[in-house]
Amino acid sequence: MLDKWGQASWLKAEDEIFDKLAKIDAGLFSGTPVQARASVGILEYQNVYTSHHKLVYRRVSAANGCVMTAKP
């Protein structure tokens, strides 16, 4: 599917990802715990979704912000 995207689609998806990450960093949005980690008591890893991507981020602490990585 992604090989059929044009530049406009890539830019729209990129904007959506960074918008979601900004909302998370500002504390306006949070995800759901990553199930495999939550089942053993590790709750700081969270899933959030955009229209085409699943993002996984790790909340380090309120003072340090978030460390986030996107996982397609």
pLDDT digits (tens, 9 = 90+) for 23-60: 988 888 888 899 999 999 998 899 999 888 888 988 77
Closest among 58, 67, 51 to 17, alpha carbons compared: 51
Residue 50 token pair: 């955009």
Break the chain into its structural domains and give their ranges: 2-71
pTM of the full predicted structure? 0.66
The pLDDT assigned to 27 comes to 83
Whether the predicted pLDDT of 62 surpasses 80: no
Distance CA 3, CA 19 (A): 23
What DSSP string describes 11-58? HHHHHHHHHHHHHHHTTS---EE-HHHHTTT--SEEEEE-SS-EEEEE
